[in-house]
Structure 1
Amino acid sequence: MKYLVTLFWTIIYGQVIGYMGAALTSTQDNPVNALVISIIFGLILCVLPQILKPASQKKG
C-alpha cells in the first residue's frame, strides 16, 4: 500500500513541477512527459531502499 501512495504522490508532484517548470521557462506544458518522468522517479524511490539495505537486514 505504501508503494501505491508513493507512486500516487510522485505523479501529483511531477505534474505540478512540470507545470511550474513550463511556466517559468515560457514553454508549452507537456503532461505526458511529466507523467513518464515522475513514474520513473517514483519507481526508483520505491526500489532504492531495498537495494541499499545492509546484507544483515536482507536475510530476515
Structure 2
Amino acid sequence: MRYIAVIFWSIMLGQVAGFIGGALNQQKFNSTYSIIISIVFAIIFSVIPLILDSSVKDTKTEKNA
C-alpha cells in the first residue's frame, strides 16, 4: 500500500512540477512526459532505501563477526 501511495503522490506532484516548469520555460505542457518521468523517479526513490538498508545490514554483520 505504501508504494501505491508513493506512486500516486509522485504523479500528482510531477504533474504540478511539469506544469510550472513548462510555464517558466514558455513551453507547451505535456502530461504524458510528466507522468512517465514522475513514475520513474518514484520507482527509483522507492528502491534506493531498500538497497541502502541491505548494505547497512551487511556492514553491521561484518563488524559483529
TM-score, normalised by the number of residues in structure 1: 0.88
Aligned length: 57
Query: How far off its partner does 1:45 sit?
Result: 1.1
Separation (CA, whole Å) in 1 of partners of 2:27 and 2:45: 28
**The structure with more radius of gyration:** 2
> Which protein is richer in helix relative to its size?
2
Query: How far off its partner does 1:44 sit?
Result: 0.6
Q: Give the structure 1 partner of residue 11 of structure 2.
A: 11
- Percent sequence identity over aligned pairs: 39
- What are structure 2's unaligned runs of at least 5 residues? none
Q: Give the structure 2 partner of residue 2 of structure 1.
A: 2
2:28 aligned counterpart, secondary structure: coil
Superposed CA deviations along residues 3-60 of structure 1, whole A, max 9, x for unmatched, are 1101100000000000000011110001101000000000011111000111248xxx
- What are structure 1's unaligned runs of at least 5 residues? none
Moved over 3 A (4+): none
RMSD between superposed Cα atoms in Å: 1.3
Separation (CA, whole Å) in 2 of partners of 1:39 and 1:8: 9
